[in-house]
Amino acid sequence: MTEKVYVRNATNELKKVIVCSPKFYKFNGINEITKSWMEKGEKEHNELMVKEWQTLIDAYKENGVEVVEMEPQPELEVQTFARDFGAMIKEGAIIGKFRHPARQKETAVYEAKLKELGIPIVARCNAGCFEGGDFWMIDEHTLAFGLVDRTDQAGVDNLREQLQKFGYTVVGVPVAPEHLHLDMCFNIVAPKVCLATKSVLPFWFLRMLERRGFNIIDVPEELIAKHGCNVQALGKNKVLGIANNVSVNEKLEAAGVEVIKLPLEQILKAGGGPHCMTYPVQRS
């Protein structure tokens, strides 16, 4: 009997995801984007957020992705960003460790969902911090962890030790903390195609991508806060993107990537886009 493979890379066809409605989302000043909206007196407008989020869910279903919805809980104010409690590799789930108290209670409910789905937990961050928005499979053997605002060196070292037995090489990618997570300034969208804000990423990391044959689509730094890099790869050279990010969408299309343009605006004020709202359970 062959062992089940969950996620072997960032671009195979997406088959199954975990998501959570923003029904009870509350603005938290734990990222620069939300902080700036709060300073302007902006409110959550949950009904509008739920309506926008539903377009993400509909797009998944229309593209043959099985959607597992969490039951949103009022006390878990940031639960809609399902990506961040951990990560997925070929062998199963990695459980992260949230930096902010506002998010720490999410881990237990997401972990219970993994158990319900029969997904094995193969590593757990039990030193420092690690959040899923900082995780990328560069290829089937190389895992990149952003060292931005929510993942630290202790967390990466802890996971490197646990993941060695599977044969993975783990690299930490330092980026200025105001950029929150690595997926805000880097995203693999199709085989050997990525979005990257070159001006904020380390030179050696960009060189590593070039040596692996990546076509790097440069996203200007001013678009980080507009979620210019925060798209979700569906596989088959197709992504879920954001309608308002016109210049990024045009660059993706010029590179042969089809963009399903979601009408997200209110939900982006919470500091996350399609990638942040999605925990990938399985790719083909």
pLDDT of residue 81: 96
pLDDT of residue 2: 60
pLDDT of residue 40: 78
pLDDT of residue 270: 84
- Digit-by-digit pLDDT tens for the chain (284 residues) are 567 999 999 999 999 999 999 999 987 766 667 667 568 787 778 999 999 999 999 999 999 999 999 999 999 989 999 999 999 999 999 999 999 998 999 999 999 999 999 999 999 999 999 999 999 999 999 999 999 999 999 999 999 999 999 999 999 999 999 999 999 999 999 999 999 999 999 999 999 999 999 999 999 999 999 999 999 999 999 999 999 999 999 999 999 999 999 999 998 888 889 999 999 999 99
pLDDT of residue 26: 84
pLDDT of residue 136: 98
Assign domain 14-283 to its CATH superfamily.
L-arginine/glycine Amidinotransferase; Chain A (3.75.10.10)
Interatomic CA distance for residues 62 and 77, integer angstroms: 28
What are the tokens at 15? 């088959």
Interatomic CA distance for residues 51 and 263, integer angstroms: 10
pLDDT of residue 267: 87
Domain ranges of the chain: 14-283
